Amino acid sequence: PTVPSSMAADANGPVADAVPDVAPAAPPPPKYASGPDMGLGMGRAMLAMQLFEKGKSMYAQCEADPNPEEAYERTHRLMADECLKLAQSHGGIYNKAAQFVASLQGGAGDKGIPKAYIEALKVVTDKAPFKPFSDMDECFREEFGGKSAKEVFASIEETPIAAASLAQVHRAVTKDGRHVAVKMQYPWLKHHLASDFAVFTMFGQQIKPGGFDLSWLVRDFQVSLTAELDFEGEAANAERCARDLAHRPDVLVPNVIKEFSSKRVMTTEYVPDMTRVDNREGLIMAGYDPKRVGAALASVFSEMVFVHGHVHGDPHAGNVYVRPRKPLPRAKS
Residue 58 near residue 75, CB atoms below 8 Å: yes
Q: 245 to each of 3, 59, 308, how far by Cα in Å?
A: 11, 47, 9
Catalytic residue among 10, 137, 196, 314: 314
If you write DSSP's letter for every residue of 104-171 in order, what string do you get? Answer: --STTGGGTS-HHHHHHHGGGGTBPPPPPHHHHHHHHHHHTTT--HHHHSSEE-SS-SEE-SSEEEEE
Distance CA 39, CA 49 (A): 15
Report d(CA 194, CA 37) in Å as an integer.
8
CA distances from 306 to 15, 299, 300, 310 (A): 32, 10, 10, 9
- Is 314 a residue of the active site? yes
Rounded to whole angstroms, the maximal C-alpha distance in the chain is 75
What span, in angstroms and rounded, lies between the C-alpha atoms of 168 and 184?
6
Q: Give the residue from 92, 88, 126, 100 showing the smallest Cα distance to 9.
A: 126
CB atoms within 10 A of CB 228: 17
Which runs of consecutive H residues, i.e. helices, occur in the chain? 38-62, 68-90, 92-102, 115-121, 133-143, 149-152, 189-206, 215-228, 231-244, 280-285, 290-303
CB atoms within 10 A of CB 244: 20
Q: Which residues are catalytic?
A: 314
